[in-house]
Amino acid sequence: MKIPESLLKKVEKPGRYVGGEWGQIIKDKKDVDVRFAFCFPDTYEIGMSNLGIRILYDIMNKKDYIWCERAYAPWTDMEQLMIENDIPLWAVESGDELKAFDIVGFTLQYEMCYTTVLNMLGLAGIPIMQSERTKDDPLIVCGGPCAYNSEPMADFVDIFLIGEGEDEVVELCDLYREYKKTEMTKDELLHRAAKIDGFYVPSLYDVEYNADGTVKSYTPKYDDIQKRVKKRIVKDLDKAPYPENLVMPYIETVQDRIVLEVYRGCIRGCRFCQAGMVYRPVREKSVETLNSEAKTLVENTGYDEITLSSLSISDYTCIDKLTDELLKWTDDKKVSLSLPSLRVNSFTKELMDKISTIRTGGITFAPEAGTQRLRDVINKNIDKDELLRACRVAFSGGKTAVKLYFMQGLPTETDEDLDGIIALARDVIEEFYRTPDRVKRQPQVTISAACFVPKPFTPFQWEGQCGYDELCRRQKYVTMKNTDRKIRYNYHDACTSRIEAVFARGDRRLGKALVEAHRRGMRLDSWEEFFDYEQWLDVFRSVGIDESFYANRTFGEDEILPWDIIDIGVSKEFLLRERHNAYKEKTTPACSEKCSGCGASCIGGKTAWCPKNVTP
C-alpha cells in the first residue's frame, strides 16, 4: 500500500483502495517477466464480484513469470484527491502506478463503462489514443462481452481478446515476454498478435464507409492476418482451470460469495439476448467437478455461501443431482446455497423446500413480454399458465411478493402488449387469492421494465431501438393503466438505454465522441448520479454524430455490420432466419429439444447438446 494515508482518511470507504486482502497474490516484481494490471472500469465493490477476473487472475498468477494485479475506478472523492495531489492510478497489490505495468487489461462488461476506461487511463497518465502509445507505454488490451462489438473502442485499444480468455491471456503474456526481451517492435508485436485466433488488432484493419454512412469494407493491412477474428472458447469445462482460492474483500461487495459456474452458453435462444448467442455452444461441467470445486473453495476461502451461476441454471442437465450432492455437506457446514435465474417451469415445491435462499429470498420471474404473441416474437418460450403455476407454488410456500421482469420497446410491440403486462400482473394477484394455503397478507407484484436495446450478434441486431419519445409514452401508458395498488410498476431510464444502444451497435467513428466525452470529464456513466443525457447529446452534436443513426435506424439485412469482423460461431444466416421467424411469430425450440443449426458447434468443444455428427 503506497497511497498516502492522509488521503485515505478523507475518503468514503477507504477499504476500496488499500488491498491487503486474504488471497491476494504478492510476488517480487524482479522475479517476473510480465506484469499485468487487470482493470475493472467501475468501483471495487462491483469489480471484485466479477467471475471472469477471478478466473483469469488465478490462471495468470499460477505462471511464475506473470504477476497479475487488480485495479478499479476510484470513486469521485478519491479521484479528486488524486488529481489535487498528483497521484496516478495504482494497482491494489503492489501500489505501483499502472504506467509501470507491461499490460493493462480492461474487461468491458457493459457499454456505459467506456468513458470510465478512458478516465482510468487518463488518471494513470497513459495516453488514451492507441496511435500515441509506444513500446514504452503499457499495452492496452480489452476483453469481456462488449469486446464482441469493440468498434467504438477501436481507437484506444491495442488488442481485443475475443471470447473466453483462459488460454488467450497466457498466450498474450507469452508473446509480450518475447517482445520485451527482444528487439521486436510494437508494429511487429501487433502483426504477430493479429494472426492468433481470437486476437483482434483493430489498428490493422482499414474501414471504409459508404456515402450513406454504412460500412463499405474492412480491409486487413497484412495478407497473413485473420480476415475475420474467430472467438475462442474453453473446449472442455471439466478440464478448465477454476480458482481454488479467492481474494476475500474486506468491504462488502456486490457478489460477496462463492460463484460456482455450472455451464456456459444457453439452450434457449431468446432473440434479444446477446449472452445467449455469444456464449454458445453450450458446455457443461460435471456434477463431480462442480462438487469438488465447491468443497475446495469453501475450505480455502471461508465463505459460507455458494451461488450457482449460469444463464439459466435450471437448464443444467443434472441440476437435481448437483443440488443433492451439494446439500449433502453444505447444511452441516452451515453453508447456504443460492440459485439465481430460475425459469418458471423449473420452479417447484421440491426446489423451494431444498434451497434455503429460495425459501427466504424474493421470487423473480422474467416473462419479458405481456402477451403470448410478443413472447413468441422474442422466443421466450414460457406461457401464462406456467407462470401462474410457479407463482402458486411460491404463494403456497408463504410468499406474498413476486417480481416480474419485462422489456419494453421490443420489435412489434403494441399497446395491446403493454396492456398485457398489467393483465399478467393482475392474473398473478388473482392467483394469490385462488391459492387456498396462502398467508393472510396482501400480495404485491412488482413489475420491473427495462428498455429493449438491440445488441450485436442477436436476431434483433438489425432492429432500430424504439424512439425515445415513444419509449417514454409507453412507460407513461403502463403507469396510467396500472390502477391496482397491489401492483408496483418500475421502469428503467430510457435515456441511458438510448446511449447504450448507440454504443452497442456503434462503429469506430464513435471513438471521437468518446474522446470528447472524456475531455469533458465524463465517467461512471453506469451510475445514475453521473449519467448526463443532455451532455451526451451535446457531445454527439459537437463531433457531428447523429446518435439515431446507431440507436434507432433499422439496419439493412444486406449491410456490412461493424461487428461482422468478429466470428462468434453462430452464423449471420441463423440470426437472420431467427429475425424472420420473429416477424412470423414463430418460436424456435431450445437446443435440448432440437438443434436449430445456429452454427456454434463449428467452434468445437465438448458440447452438451450439439448433434455429434456436426464436424467442426
Residue 18 binds another protein (CB under 8 A): yes
Location of C-alpha cell 457478489: 255
Q: What is the CA radius of gyration of the chain?
A: 24
Q: How many CA atoms lie within 13 A of 265 on its CB side?
A: 29
State the Cα–Cα distance between residues 246 and 25, nearest whole angstrom.
Answer: 10
Give least dist CB 613 to another protein, A. 49
State the Cα–Cα distance between residues 4 and 297, nearest whole angstrom.
Answer: 34
User: Do 422 and 481 form a contact (C-beta atoms < 8 A)?
Assistant: yes
| Nearer CB in complex with another protein: 336/542 | 336
State the Cα–Cα distance between residues 19 and 1, nearest whole angstrom.
Answer: 7
State the Cα–Cα distance between residues 381 and 268, nearest whole angstrom.
Answer: 8
Residue 327 binds another protein (CB under 8 A): no
| Residue from 222, 250, 329, 433 in contact with another protein (CB under 8 A) | 250
Give least dist CB 34 to another protein, A. 24
Residue from 412, 390, 454 nearest 586 by CA: 412
Residue 423 binds another protein (CB under 8 A): no
User: Do 68 and 60 form a contact (C-beta atoms < 8 A)?
Assistant: yes
State the Cα–Cα distance between residues 536 and 513, nearest whole angstrom.
Answer: 9
Q: Which part of the chain contacts another protein (CB under 8 A), choosing from 7-15, 37-45, 363-371, 455-463?
A: 7-15
Give least dist CB 15 to another protein, A. 5
Q: Which part of the chain contacts another protein (CB under 8 A), choosing from 133-141, 264-272, 295-303, 407-415?
A: 295-303
State the Cα–Cα distance between residues 337 and 548, nearest whole angstrom.
Answer: 45
Residue 236 binds another protein (CB under 8 A): no
Start-to-end C-alpha separation, the chain? 49
| Residue from 248, 327, 351, 614 in contact with another protein (CB under 8 A) | 248
| Residue from 125, 213, 241, 302 in contact with another protein (CB under 8 A) | 302
State the Cα–Cα distance between residues 58 and 24, nearest whole angstrom.
Answer: 10
| Residue from 64, 77, 304, 415 in contact with another protein (CB under 8 A) | 304
Give least dist CB 6 to another protein, A. 4
Residue 353 binds another protein (CB under 8 A): no
| Residue from 132, 178, 206, 252 in contact with another protein (CB under 8 A) | 252
Residue 110 C-alpha cell reads as 457493459
- Region of 508 (left: φ > 0; alpha: ψ -120 to 50; beta: rest) is alpha
Residue 305 binds another protein (CB under 8 A): no
Residue 303 binds another protein (CB under 8 A): yes
Give least dist CB 258 to another protein, A. 11
Residue 521 C-alpha cell reads as 470529464
| Residue from 25, 184, 251, 537 in contact with another protein (CB under 8 A) | 251
| Residue from 178, 244, 299, 484 in contact with another protein (CB under 8 A) | 299
Residue 15 binds another protein (CB under 8 A): yes
| Nearer CB in complex with another protein: 300/372 | 300
Q: Residue 112 — φ and ψ, nearest 5°? A: -70, 5
| Nearer CB in complex with another protein: 1/614 | 1
For another protein, how many residues bind (rule: CB under 8 A)? Answer: 26
Residue 86 binds another protein (CB under 8 A): no
Residue 158 C-alpha cell reads as 491495442
| Nearer CB in complex with another protein: 348/356 | 356
SS3 breakdown of the chain: % helix, strand, coil, rounded to 5? 40, 15, 45
State the Cα–Cα distance between residues 108 and 39, nearest whole angstrom.
Answer: 10
Interface of this chain with another protein, residues 449 to 488, rule: CB under 8 A:
none
Q: Kindly list the residues in this chain that would bind another protein in the complex (CB under 8 A).
A: 1, 4-6, 8-9, 14-15, 17-22, 248, 250-252, 298-304, 334
